[in-house]
Amino acid sequence: MIGLRQPIPILSFDRTLRSTLLASLFSATLFAVPLSGVSLSKANALEVTQDEIVIAPNLERFVLDNGLEVVVIPDRRAPVVTHMLWYKVGSADEPEGQSGVAHFLEHLMFKGTEDHPDGEFSKIIADRGGQENAFTSYDYTAYFQRVAKEHLPLMMEMEADRMENLVLSNAVVAPERDVVLEERRDRVESDPGSRLREAMNAITFVNHPYGSPIIGWQNEIEALNKDAAIAFYDRFYTPNNAVLVVAGDVEPATVLDLAQNTYGKVPRRAEPGERLRPAEPPLAGERRIVVTDPRVRQEALSHTWIVPSQTTGEGRTPEALDILSYVLGQGPSSRLYKALVLDAGLATSAGAYYQSTALNSGRFVVYASPRPGHTLEDIEEAAAQELSKLLEEGVTEEEVDRAKRSMIASSIYAQDSQTGLARLFGAALTTGMNVEDVQTWPSQIQAVTPEDVVAVARDYLTATPVTGELRSPQSNADTADKSGKES
């Protein structure tokens, strides 16, 4: 689903922990637009008229005179609201040589305005029993608060204030840059899985900015300063480049009135322009990266293919890729899990996922981790055999129907999550999709045929993938010893 069951690399600035919510090695990321999950047993047992399902059917959308898009999703089951402000800018929009400035600015947005000085924003929310956070992706940056509904006007007033009136000085910028550098050391350089993930991105997207880490390269973070942050803020943090999503116990007309009296007073500061990015040329030859580290306790293998995203894919291609990931690698009945984990006993885990929510290219990933006594070479060969079998023999009607039932059931249960729906629509609207794309997703999934699934597999998974290996030094020694004996 759009935003469901897919890893989206995101950096999150938690005001308490300042934690970077990075992706787990080859599985779904934390904070990757998470929605309520559903077990396969529940999904398969659910009987629904699938082509009638609409996600958030009571949603209303407005556009203010200054260009701010406002989306309201009423949910009156509890007297709380989720207030999320999304900017159509992420790390892939950064000026050359300034990697990390989008995430850096996300940190600096908590440094205050004249009306709400440094620390006051978070204190006000905490004093009212609310929650807040912010996160940066390749394609968007978002800020959110979850509070009792009576505090919504204050949240809108404060967020509109820092959209226009952020105050920065060298005295706050330099220490925050050190915080980001320490974050990079702790979360990337000290973690073998994160290092592999960063290297994989770099060799997957050589020409496209998706190849640069969201947190930034160390030498470029070190050069970031107040001027760089303010220039980025002035260009992109303007109402005509933002989407406001409010979900919860609200009336759309009331939210519109509040938005006009807060955000509506913020003038357009800039015209960010079309989000033009260089295209990634087709992969020529093999690209493989190996990270070896004595701290590795669980080795892992990953294959990545560049594929169309929900935004760039034509026809039913994105939905077919979604179902393909399900058939191939989602859950215990999936082909990879059954073949590598249950039947052969080669792996402790095996699966696939499709990262569809992106302004530009998406990714299709197959991953596995070997069981003790088996090697990365063993699981790579077994995964290749299973993929070849699918390409040659196709998929069954039963497999596709099972995937549809599970995925559509998940979309139904997802609507129980107020915050999840806000994230779902915010991510979609900042990556080139529209409200209808999200609302009609179940019917789009329902229209996919087994022939569609096989077609996208043959179109995209027959190419040479980018391969990543996470190894322990002992694994390398064992492999070298085995090669020596065989020769």
Distance CA 444, CA 448 (A): 7
Distance CA 79, CA 77 (A): 7
Parallel, antiparallel, or unpaired for β 466-471 and 287-292?
parallel
Angstrom distances, CA of residue 186 to CA of 13, 182, 194: 14, 6, 10
Which residue's entry shows tokens 């794309």? 437
Distance CA 213, CA 211 (A): 7
Helix or strand run (H / E) with residue 347: strand 347-355
Which residue's entry shows tokens 């894919």? 313
Q: Of 394, 403, 397, nearest to 454 (Cα)? A: 394
Whether residue 106 lies in the annotated active site: yes
Largest CA distance in the chain: 77
Assigned token pair, 188: 């990337």
Q: Which of 69, 94, 106, 220 is catalytic?
A: 106
Query: What would the DSSP string read from start to end of 182-221?
Result: HHHIIIIIT-HHHHHHHHHHHHH-SSSGGGS-TT--HHHH
Q: Of 168, 164, 124, 115, nearest to 147 (Cα)? A: 124
Query: What would the DSSP string read from start to end of 78-143?
Result: SSEEEEEEEES--GGGSPTT-TTHHHHHHHHGGGB-SSSBTTHHHHHHHHTT-EEEEEE-SS-EEE
Contact status, residue 185 vs residue 454, Cβ threshold 8 Å: no
- Under DSSP, the state recorded for 316 is T
Contact status, residue 290 vs residue 475, Cβ threshold 8 Å: no
- HEC secondary structure over 407-460: HHHHHHHHCCCHHHHHHHHHHHHCCCCCHHHHHCHHHHHHCCCHHHHHHHHHHH
Distance CA 316, CA 322 (A): 10
Helix or strand run (H / E) with residue 469: strand 466-471
Residues 6+ apart with CB under 8 A from 466: 200, 203, 204, 283, 287, 288, 289, 303, 304, 305
Which amino acid is it at 393? Answer: E
Q: Which residues are annotated as catalytic?
A: 106
